[in-house]
Amino acid sequence: MTAVLHVTFGPSGAGKTSYAQTLAKRERAVIFNLDEWMARLFGPDMPEKIEYDWMVDRVGRCEAQIWSVAAGVIATGTSVILDIGLLRKADRDRVRQIAAAVELPLQFHYVDAPQEVRRARVSERNVIRGETFAIDVTPEMFDFVEGVWEAPTPEELEGAVIAPLER
């Protein structure tokens, strides 16, 4: 069986992590969740007011380590799921280039929900701190991420698995 690189993407609060958990059970794959890595490695040091440069630097470090460990898992023949945000088209294109360079089968999974549903979901997750909670997402953080998010083009969605829209 050939290992597959599964990649979830979508806006904040869309349900990517819940989707990835279900997919991992079905595909017997290992999940790499950026929020969990960020919370574990940098959460205790996180400044009260998050600075963009501080966050970008640490996201880059986490992603580099995730790619390194994921490559080792894939080398064993085990599929992986990257749940690392990929908010911008350029980020998703970079993943495509990496997978193509090493001839790794790639499957994108697009997860979305209406903004009001996502905002409420994130707010509830901050309080409940259930299975998919990794880090508090303040309303300001949510708004910041909304400003960075680039919805996929129809061409980008060709061949992608589109998760059923949650309301």
Domain holding 78: CATH number?
3.40.50.300
Which residues constitute the domain of residue 128?
5-162
Q: Is residue 18 part of a domain?
A: yes
Looking at the structure of the chain, the number of domains it has is: 1
Query: Nearest 5°: phi and psi at 13?
Result: 80, 10
Determine the pLDDT at residue 2. 86
For 110-119, what is each residue's pLDDT tens digit? 999 998 888 8
Distance from C-alpha of 86 to C-alpha of 80, rounded to nearest angstrom: 16
- Chain-centroid distance of CA 31 in Å reads 10
Specify the pLDDT at position 144.
Answer: 78
Q: Could you tell me if residue 105 is inside a domain? A: yes
81 beta partners: 6, 31
Report pTM.
0.84
Residue 27: inside a domain? yes
pLDDT higher for 51 or 146?
Answer: 146
Q: What is the pLDDT of residue 61?
A: 92
Residue 167 lies in a domain: no
Q: What is the mean pLDDT of the chain?
A: 87
